[in-house]
Amino acid sequence: MELVMEPDMSCGEEAAAAVRELQLILQALGTCQGNMSEGQMRVDANVSVHKPGEPLGIRAEVKNINSVRCLARAIDYEIQRQIEVLQRGQTVQNETRAYDSKSGETIPMRDKEGLQDYRFMPEPNLPPLIVYEDNASLPTGIDACQAVVVHKIREGLPELPGVKRDRLVQTYGILPEHSFTLVNEDGLVEYFEAVIEG
């Protein structure tokens, strides 16, 4: 599965927080542990710089980042690198780069100029999924295997990290930053609640 986020993060720490939240959601859903160092999850970061009020700049893509810490460092390095390129009067290249965790730098892998970033090939053995908000909007004659009913999926979801943090703050009166600590560590919420109720 590939997820693409909006280009609305301004530093490596914001991106790292978003990826950490995604890991927690995937763990809560039981889809995977999201262990980046074991290859269960990888992140590609598209980085561009621009002056406030101007359109987004030319982006460089940093590929296959394998930890949240490296993600933050790679993005921050790449932001600074692009600023320095522009300050020298040069142009940022649309390219694919890799992050070298030993040097703390991004290094060029390949130029993207003139290349298509993505090529889509339909898979004939996978039927399209049609998304409906609820059963009432489901037309008659639709194969149930092809229909995704959002309302049914929502009902079956476990307590997701954001909801769990809000519940902890409201129920126990703890500080929001403490709720992050509890939710981020596997099994800590259950232990905390057992101690409180015990």
Q: What is the DSSP string of 168-196?
A: HHHHH---HHHHHHHHHSTTHHHHHHHHH
Strands 43-47 and 60-65, sheet pairing: antiparallel
What is the DSSP code (8-state) at residue 62?
E
Per-residue pLDDT of the chain (198 residues; tens, 9 = 90+): 788 888 889 999 999 999 999 999 999 999 988 889 898 999 999 999 998 899 989 999 999 999 999 999 999 999 999 999 999 999 999 999 999 999 999 999 976 655 555 566 777 887 777 888 887 777 777 776 678 888 888 899 999 999 999 999 999 999 999 999 999 988 999 999 999 998
Cα angle 85, 89, 91; round to 5: 60
pLDDT for res 112? 61
pTM: 0.81
Structural domain spans, the chain: 12-111, 130-197
Mapped onto helix, strand or coil, the DSSP state of residue 43 is strand
Q: Say if residues 91 and 111 touch (Cβ distance below 8 Å).
A: no
